[in-house]
Structure 1
Amino acid sequence: MKPHGRWRRFLKTWLEQHARALVGSLGAFTRNRVPSLMTAGVIGIALALPAAFLLLLDNIQTLTSGWQGQPHASLFLKRDLDTKQVALLAQQIGTRNGVIHARIITPEQGLEELRELSGFRQALALLPSNPLPPVIEVEPSGALTPAQVDSLIDELAALPSVARIRMDRDWLRRLHAILYLFERGTWVVAALLGITVILVVGNTIRLDIENRRDEIIIVKLIGATDAFVRRPFLYSGLWHGLAGGLLACLLVETGRLLLAGPVSHLASLYGSRFELAGIGFSGGLTLLGCGAFLGLVGSRLAVGRHLTALEPR
């Protein structure tokens, strides 16, 4: 027999064995509906909790990046600049990386705004001249980190035409620190719940191995390899993980749909059109992949530990 024919036969046999184990483990999963669904339910809840927190974090970041309360830097220019110089400087600043736009506030506009907001219109009318300098209001991009915003503000403050710069960056640092803490805590919880999924799947596979103890010993007596015996249990863990990942997707999307209406109503009261974003197709695939991976890891650990003890005597 030619070498490529031998390899083709080997590959065909290998694929048939895996297909048989895959279908057989799916049949066992569907026959034992109640325990299988209970295990999948635990996996689904364990995956849905960190997924929901991460989805909430993404929505918060989207909301804050598009929020009109994004901090603005006020660049107070020197009073000897004329209108053309101010316009040219605003154009140069507006083209910088990390700047959304730069808006010019003339001394006349600044004085009128001060009259409207301060309530001292009559007192300000007694001023012999306008004491306010031209101002360029700069809006940094919401995608910048606090360190990048600080670097941008320092660069703008170093411009020779800028006399003074003002920006309240403390709240921005606090916001990023809170979001970072929230994200780090979510990943810690996700890791703990991932370990829980592995233990749950491992315990399920261990019970399945104990229930089929005699069958495994007989199969080994007639020459079955450890890989042959191990294969159905690995696929069983895979099916449990996939079912749990699918349930997690359903739980997260159900929660989003339940909250979408109240969130949209609350956003409309603030004049916003913000809507809760879902996990999407890529997020669903990620949940399914995580469930399948954790199911395989849990089943592999359980099989590797308990199968070696079932040797025929």
Structure 2
Amino acid sequence: MATERRTRGAAARGSAWKELLGSYLLHHRKTARDSAERLWRAPVASLMTWLVMGIALALPVGLLLLLTSLQGVSAGWESTARVTVYLDQSATTDDLSRLRAEVASRPDVTDVTVITKDEALKEFRASSGLADALDYLDENPLPHTLLLTPDESIRNQIGMQKLMVALEDLKDVARVQVDLGWLQRLNTITDLLGRGVWALGLLLAAAVILVIGNTIRLAIENRRDEILVAKLVGGTDAFVRRPFLYTGIWYGLGGGIVAFILLQLTLWWMSGPVQRLASLYRSEFELSGLSWDGTLGLLTVSVLLGWMGAWLAVKRHLEVIEPNQIEARGTAG
């Protein structure tokens, strides 16, 4: 009998918890639906709020996408960065072979390409259009050349400087040219712009929170009497707060969708001119849009900003609304 009573008691407690959880979730669904319906009943005001959020979110995200595209292109250029080693004019092919073997054995060099003076002159003759003038030369003025591909671990200012100094000390080396300096300056500029975009994004995120907070504040003032009645009959702060938090979530979700639409339209509008400009410079640069993960991240951030703005507004303004205000109004009447 005791075992049976314990079994029935456990079943009753489990059923009560399920009923309580079901009621809790049902209230959340109803509150979320009612909050969405309130926004749809005021389409102009809701659309204006969504547009403000969408523009504020699309601006930093669009700039980040542009910087990501630039960094991707510069990474491709950096992967093909070369160090050019010019030999003395008096260096022979034996000196060239010896120097090539010596350079190729270095751990900070991954590849070495040899260009003899005859090959260099042939290429220059074909590309310069000065073939007739070159025929008057008594000897080849171009030196033997080595093209080095440095290891990725040293593709920075300090590592390339050390490699350059080491190569200049080698015998029969006349000059070492590193074409990575301009790329480092480009990376520095993009890093600086990236920090500026993040700062702008934080400022605009704060602006979004303020916009949502002000909108929720107006909604609280419009429903002040409803809130007073709910508290008077025993409604908790969490119960009263819930509709406004869902309103903030819907505002955030709508703002994220508007930002995504604005980004896609801007990308479509600019892709043609960007491709034509890139083709003129024989570049593979192209604007990259949001991936699925990026889109999900944008919507998540926008929802969180909407919820945060609503939570701050509710926390600040809901606590001052108490049922004793009804008594005060009645006494004043």
TM-score normalised to structure 1 length: 0.84
- Report the Cα offset of residue 77 of structure 1: 6.0
Counterpart for residue 184 of structure 1: 195
CA contact (8 A) 2:214 2:313 kept: yes
Q: Is 296-305 or 269-278 further displaced after alignment? A: 269-278
Say if 1:90 and 1:136, in contact at 8 Å, map to a contact too. Answer: no
Cα separation, 1, equivalents of 2:39 and 2:14: 37
One-letter amino acid matched to 1:270: Y
Counterpart position of 1:28:
38
Q: 1:74 to 1:83 in 2, by over 3 A?
A: closer
2:134 aligned to which of 121, 125, 145: 121
Task: State how far apart, in whole Å, the 2-side matches of 1:146 and 1:293 are.
Answer: 41
The residue that corresponds to 2:302 in the other structure is 291
1:171 deviation in Å? Answer: 1.7
Match of 1:154 among 150, 162, 180: 162
1:64–1:70 contact (8 Å) kept in structure 2: no
What's the secondary structure of 1:55's corresponding residue?
helix
| Equivalent position amino acid for 1:10 in 2 | L
Match of 1:271 among 282, 285, 289: 282
Which amino acid counterpart does residue 280 of structure 1 have in structure 2? S
SS across alignment from 1:158: helix
Alpha-carbon contact 2:100-2:112 (below 8 Å) kept: no
Sort the Cα spacing of 1:75 and 1:157 in 2 relative to 1 into closer, same or farther, 3 A.
farther
Change (3 A) 1:69 1:18: closer
Answering whether residue 221 of structure 2 is matched by residue 213 of structure 1, we say: no
Is this contact kept in 2: 1:237–1:299, CA < 8 A? Answer: yes
CA displacement at 1:251 relative to structure 2: 0.2
- 1:283–1:69 distance in 2 versus 1, CA, 3 Å: closer
Q: Tell me how far 1:85 sits from its aligned partner.
A: 4.8
Q: Does 1:53 align with 2:63?
A: yes
From 145, 166, 176, the equivalent of 1:135 is 145
1:216: how far off? 0.5
Matched-pair contact (CA < 8 Å) for 1:146–1:172: no
Q: Give the TM-score, by structure 2 length.
A: 0.79
- The CA distance in 2 between the partners of 1:135 and 1:270, in whole Å, is 27
Q: Is the 8 A contact 2:70 2:285 kept in 1?
A: no
Provide the C-alpha distance between the structure 2 equivalents of 1:167 and 1:149, rounded to a whole number of angstroms. 10
Which runs of no fewer than 5 residues in structure 1 stay unpaired?
none
Aligned to 1:63: 73
Residue deviations 1:289-308 (CA, integer Å, cap 9, x gap): 11101101100000000000
Residue in structure 2 matched with residue 231 of structure 1 by the alignment? 242
Moved more, 220-229 or 101-110: 101-110
| C-alpha distance in structure 2 between counterparts of 1:69 and 1:230, whole Å | 55
After alignment, is 2-11 or 278-287 more displaced?
2-11
The share of aligned pairs that are identical, in percent, is: 39
Q: Residues 170 and 83 (structure 1 numbering): CA distance in 2 closer, same or farther, change over 3 Å?
A: closer
- TM superposition shift of 1:106: 2.3
- Please tell me whether the aligned partners of residues 54 and 258 of structure 2 are also in contact (alpha carbons under 8 angstroms): yes
Q: Indicate how the Cα distance of structure 1 residues 19 and 102 shifts in structure 2: closer, same or farther if over 3 A, else same.
A: farther
> Could you say what the CA RMSD is over the residues aligned between the two structures, in angstroms?
3.2
Structure 2 unaligned spans of 5+ = 1-8, 325-333
- Higher alpha-carbon Rg: 2
Q: 1:103 to 1:4 in 2, by over 3 A?
A: farther
Correspondence 1:240 to 2:248: no
SS in 2 for 1:310: coil
The answer to whether the aligner puts 1:252 opposite 2:263 as a matched pair is: yes
Amino acid paired to 1:297? M
Distance verdict in 2 for CA 1:121–1:230, change over 3 Å: same
Q: What is the aligned partner in structure 2 of residue 280 from structure 1? A: 291
1-side partners of 2:73 and 2:225: how far apart? 59
Check conservation: 2:216, 2:313, Cα contact below 8 A. Answer: yes
After superposition, give the CA deviation of every residue in 1:196-225 in whole Å (9 maximum; x if it has no partner): 000000001000000000001001111110
Are the counterparts in 1 of residues 212 and 248 from structure 2 also a CA contact under 8 Å? yes
Amino acid corresponding to residue 191 of structure 1 in structure 2:
L
Q: Deviations over 1:261-313 (max 9, x none)?
A: 11112222333454322112122112111110110110000000000011101
After superposition, the Cα gap between the structure-2 partners of 1:310 and 1:170, relative to the gap in structure 1 and judged at 3 Å, is same
TM superposition shift of 1:66 = 3.6
